[in-house]
Amino acid sequence: MKSTKHLLLLIIALISININAQETVSLTINVETAGTLPELIPTSQKNQITNLTLTGNLNGTDIRYIREMAGSDADTQFTYGSLSVLDLAKIKIVAGGDYYINLSGRKLYSGSNTFGEGIFYGCNTLTSVILPNNVTKIGDFAFGNCFGLTSVTIPNSITVIGNNAFYCCIGLIALTIPNSVTSIGDYAFVGCTELTSITIPNSVTQIGNFALTGCKKLTSITVPNRLTVIGNGVFSNCTELTSVTIPKSVTSIGSSAFSFCRRLTSVTIPNSVTSVGSSAFSSCSGLTSVTIPNSVTSIGSSAFSFCTGLTSVTIPNGVTAIGNSAFYQCSGLTSVTIPNSVTTINDFTFSYCSGLTSVTIPNSVTIIGSSAFRNCKGLTHITIPTSVTVIEGWAFNECTGLTSVTIPNNVKLIGQSSFHDCTSLISVTIPNSVTTIEYAAFRNSGLTTITIPNSVTDIEDYAFNECLLKQIYCEATTPPQIESETFSNIYNTCELYVPEVAYSAYLNDPYWGKFNIIKQVITSISDTDAGNLNVYSENGSIIVQGGKLGNLVDIYSVSGSLLQKIKITDHIVRITVAPQKIYIIKTGNKSFKIAMQ
């Protein structure tokens, strides 16, 4: 009778286990001999256990069995295990036993006191793990793709968190890293999209590339004060990050370090930093201000590109290199000062900064790169210093607000489409140093009058196509080489003025000859030579800047008649003249030709 009763109770218990398979089933086991866990937990029970506390010794065979209990076998195939909470605090991992995982064709075995590579990779039922107290490293991909993991207790024995250690642990919400840790590997927490809080201690001296990329709910971060390098992409795409503290220990900010941190509003870079990497703050659209210290010597390509909220930036005097597209499409940027330590404004540096109204280019700059100021629609005037020798293609293309520009007298070539679509451009001074005006250089600009100096030998196709030109003054006695479309659309409406001695040459040229040519005779004037003086038109006046005190300024009509004589009494002399005329300005042994609009 008793045996029947006991049998009935056993059947009821088994039925109860089956019915409540998803309820908490806890088990504590001491594994005295490594490799015996499969014997201590029968196969019939292993998929029912949800909470497991282990003590003793584990090797590869035991770890393999735990994996099967946690939803993934040694070949990363799905199992029906239910293990959620795993406490290994008092476990010692030893070498030996079977391989615990075949990871990308590599069979991995346990090592002494090592929380090895891929140890619980893909174990999706795990939600909480307490690591052994005696291991020193969390191996690469140790918890990779553990989608259900919400918490991990890391002991003070750990010094290294390996590459991809918590890769795509999308359920991980918070993590405290103990102050024993000195190194966090590449991609360690990449894709932990629910991580809202992580404490990185000051003991950490190295954070690997892309370590926290894609942690989209992380709102703030304090960089440890022993870190010297913020690696590539460390905080990239942390879209909710609003504040970051960069300590004075940091000397370098890596490529894409904070890219796509769209809620980041301000950043103070300490004066220990010497370089800001390429795309370091790219697409930080919420960034309104940034302080770049004097210690910085290099700003990488695209460093602040697409920072559409950035309104002003001061580039310190220590900077010698600004990379391509450094401030590309910073549409909110209104002013920028470039220091005299910079020699080249690289390609696309300020391209599509449509709100830029003021830029100061120092006289240290020798090259303005391709598309450097392209589509800066807010620029109305720009002073190009005499140090500039090269203006590359598209440099000021689509600067629709630009009204006047003086090209310095060291420039030999005006690049392709440099001022293309500058529809408000009505005044351009081309110096005697220029020999070539490239393809579409001034196409569709607002120019009505242009003087082409006698140094120009080649004007390429479409250079002045679709302009509003009414007068062209070409000083060369040998007609520059032009092509069929150089001045197309204006041959019938534009008048061409040429030296009297070259009249026949222009008239007989297959393309120049299409104009209604009018002789131009200049008398009492020496050959035009810009020298070191700066003579230009501004607001209806002729400005003579830098002339020798006491010298006279003679103003002639285009036909050579003397109109005015002015004595230079100041560094800048302003001379009022009638509009819509061409004037020859002579002072000392220098002469200039100015077209007034």
CA 555 remoteness from chain centre: 50
User: Among the ranges 27-41, 378-392, 553-567, which has the highest mean pLDDT value?
Assistant: 27-41
Give CA–CA dist 535/416, Å, rounded: 26
Model confidence band, residue 532 (pLDDT cutoffs 50, 70, 90): low
Q: Taking residues 219-242, report their average pLDDT.
A: 95
pLDDT at 197 over 80: yes
Q: Taking residues 519-533, report their average pLDDT.
A: 48
Q: What is the pLDDT of residue 580?
A: 67
Residue matched to tokens 């594994």: 31
Cβ atoms within 10 A of the Cβ of 203, count? Answer: 15
pLDDT at 128 over 90: yes
Q: Lowest mean pLDDT of 92-106, 325-339, 341-355, 530-544, name the range.
A: 530-544
**pTM (predicted TM-score):** 0.80
Phi, psi of 521 (to 5 degrees): -120, 120
Q: Parallel, antiparallel, or unpaired: how do β-strands 243-245 and 220-222 relate?
A: parallel
Determine the residue type at 215.
C
What is the average pLDDT score of the chain? 90
Q: Taking residues 8-17, report their average pLDDT.
A: 36
**Total residue count of the chain as it appears in this document:** 597
Of 363, 412, 421, 360, the C-alpha closest to 391 is: 412
Whole-angstrom CA distances from 272 to 201, 229, 265, 306, 316 are 20, 11, 21, 26, 14
Give CA–CA dist 308/353, Å, rounded: 9
| Digit-coded pLDDT (tens) for 249-273 | 999 999 999 999 999 998 989 999 9
Answer yes or no: are the C-beta atoms of 319 and 340 closer than 8 Å.
no
Q: What is the pLDDT of residue 520?
A: 64
Tokens of 209: 């590339």
Q: Which helix (H) or strand (E) holds 100?
A: strand 96-103
- Strand partners of residue 544: 535, 573
**67 secondary structure, DSSP code:** H
| ∠ CA 595-458-444, rounded to 5° | 55
| Digit-coded pLDDT (tens) for 376-433 | 999 998 889 999 999 999 999 999 999 989 899 999 999 999 999 999 999 899 999 9
Torsion of CA 349, 351, 353, 359, to 10 degrees: 60
Cβ density class 85-117: b for 16+ within 10 Å, e for less = bbbbeebbbbebbbbbbebeeeebbbbeebbbb
Q: What is the pLDDT of residue 303?
A: 98
Phi, psi of 514 (to 5 degrees): -75, -15
Model confidence band, residue 16 (pLDDT cutoffs 50, 70, 90): very low
Phi, psi of 118 (to 5 degrees): 60, 20
Q: What is the pLDDT of residue 497?
A: 87
Q: Taking residues 509-518, report their average pLDDT.
A: 86
